[in-house]
């Protein structure tokens, strides 16, 4: 009886061992499959995170480029607005100067057609209490309507500007009272046409060609120039026609006779060199250097 029970226990134990041996390979296979799946999940997660970081970097780079381009356009628009203020085509400084106590004055509007598209400006100006005679100007550039609170501000610039003043030939250029009176008497119409103590360059440029032909030679003589009325007439006609070749020919001709003030003198001939801007050395022919003096193998004139 005891022997039979022992044999039965052995058979049961051997059966269990056999079933364990059959189940063990299946568990190891499942474990390997789970590890491979975990590796795939981790690899895909790392790849997705890396792609997200790279995409974020590219997106930030593109946004930085767009912001830099927009800021550059805003700087160009600011320069255009300040130029209009300096030329008094945008008379905000004059309005602030004539207002009671130099209070703030603002103007706004869209940029011109040649300005960056979609941009607008708002200019605020007021007389500076710390600097007499100076105006504090603030130029704001918006992307959209400047009166809309939702329009983003791109660039804000604050500068100091002096109100435009007429040119005083005596104060600014050192002409004596006698020279100013002679100039006024010589101008047809006198001070009503051109006041030497309050010369507006825009009014001077708006005069007709005949009046300029009479006034400019007198101004040149007052400043020590040597151009006559006929020569000035030729220069103005050449400038008005826009013929660059004719302007260069006149410059060479007048430069050889002493030079257009501020211009390059004409090139001398063999053994000669032109003067600079009408200075003491005349150009042309053999007058640039002493006659008969050879220059680098060239025969003097």
Does residue 95 have a pLDDT over 90?
no
Higher pLDDT, 13 or 169: 169
Helices 244-256 and 229-241, interaxial angle, to 10°?
Answer: 160
Q: What is the pLDDT of residue 51?
A: 93
* pLDDT, tens digit (0-9, with 9 covering 90-100), for 24-35: 565 566 677 778
CB 159 within 8 A of CB 153: no
More confident residue, 194 or 264: 194
Judge whether residue 140 has pLDDT over 50: yes
Q: Which region holds residue 118: left if phi is over 0, alpha if psi is between -120 and 50, else beta?
A: left
Q: What is the 8-class DSSP label of residue 123? A: E
The predicted-structure confidence for 181-232, as pLDDT tens digits, reads as follows 777 776 767 777 777 777 776 666 666 677 776 677 666 666 555 555 565 5
pLDDT tens per residue, range 97-136: 777 665 666 777 776 666 667 788 888 888 888 887 788 8
The three-state (H, E, C) secondary structure of 45-63, written as one string = HHHHHHHHHHHHHHHHHHH
- What pLDDT was estimated at residue 1? 54
Q: Which residue has better confidence, 140 or 34?
A: 140
Computed over every residue of the chain, the mean pLDDT equals 68
Q: What is the DSSP letter of 191?
A: G
Rounded distance between C-alpha atoms, residue 285 and residue 167, angstroms: 40
pLDDT band at 237 (very low <50, low <70, confident <90, very high): low
Handedness of CA 158, 162, 163, 164 (dihedral sign): negative
Report yes or no: 204 and 194 within 8 Å, Cβ to Cβ: yes
pLDDT computed for residue 57 by the predictor? 92
pLDDT top residue among 220 and 38: 38
DSSP letter (8 states) at residue 130? S
What's the confidence (pLDDT) of residue 160? Answer: 86
Is the model's pLDDT at 76 over the cut of 60? yes
**Given strand 119-127, what is the order of strands in its sheet?**
105-110, 119-127, 135-143, 153-161
- In this predicted structure, what is the pLDDT of residue 130? 84
Give the residue-averaged pLDDT of 132-146: 83
77/93: higher pLDDT: 77
Give the residue from 71, 151, 139, 75 showing the smallest Cα distance to 108: 139
> Considering only 128-137, 172-181, 189-198, 288-297, which range has the smallest mean pLDDT?
288-297
Q: Specify the DSSP element, H or E, that contains 250.
A: helix 244-256
Tokens of 153: 């501000």
Which residue in 121, 127, 82 sits closest to 104, CA to CA? 127
Alpha-carbon distance 78 to 248, whole Å?
Answer: 36
Tell me the mean pLDDT in the region 139-158.
Answer: 84
Residues in the chain: 301
> For 64-75, what is the mean pLDDT?
88
Of 281, 288, 291, the residue nearest 299 (C-alpha): 291
**Whether residue 273 has pLDDT greater than 50:** no
Residue 279 pLDDT > 50: no
- Please tell me the predicted confidence (pLDDT) of residue 35: 80
Tokens of 245: 């070749």
Q: What number is the average pLDDT over the span 248-268? A: 46
């Amino acid at each position: 009886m005891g022997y039979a029970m022992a044999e039965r226990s052995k058979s049961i134990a051997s059966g269990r061992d056999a079933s364990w041996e059959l189940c063990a390979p299946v568990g190891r296979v499942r474990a390997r499959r789970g590890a491979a799946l975990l590796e795939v999940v981790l690899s895909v997660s790392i790849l997705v995170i890396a792609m997200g970081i790279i995409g974020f970097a590219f997106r930030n780079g593109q946004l930085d480029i767009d912001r830099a381009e927009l800021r550059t356009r805003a700087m160009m628009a600011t320069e255009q607005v300040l130029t209009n203020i300096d030329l008094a085509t945008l008379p905000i400084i004059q309005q602030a100067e004539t207002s009671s106590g130099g209070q703030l004055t603002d103007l706004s509007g869209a940029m011109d057609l040649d300005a960056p598209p979609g941009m607008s400006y708002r200019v605020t100006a007021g007389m500076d209490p710390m600097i007499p005679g100076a105006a504090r100007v603030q130029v704001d550039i918006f992307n959209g309507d400047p009166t809309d609170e939702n329009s983003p501000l791109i660039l804000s610039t604050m500068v100091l500007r002096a109100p435009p003043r007429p040119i005083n030939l005596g104060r600014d250029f050192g002409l004596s009272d006698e020279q100013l009176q002679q100039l006024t008497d010589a101008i047809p119409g006198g001070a009503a046409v051109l006041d030497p103590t309050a010369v507006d360059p825009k009014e001077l440029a708006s005069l007709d060609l005949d009046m300029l032909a009479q006034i400019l030679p007198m101004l040149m003589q007052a400043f020590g120039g040597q151009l006559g009325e006929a020569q000035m007439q030729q220069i103005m006609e050449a400038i008005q026609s826009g013929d660059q070749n004719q302007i260069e020919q006149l410059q060479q001709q007048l430069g050889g006779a002493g030079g257009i003030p501020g211009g390059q003198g004409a090139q001398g001939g063999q053994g000669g060199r032109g003067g600079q801007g009408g200075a003491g050395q005349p150009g042309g022919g053999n007058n640039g250097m002493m006659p008969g003096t050879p220059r680098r193998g060239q025969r003097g004139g």
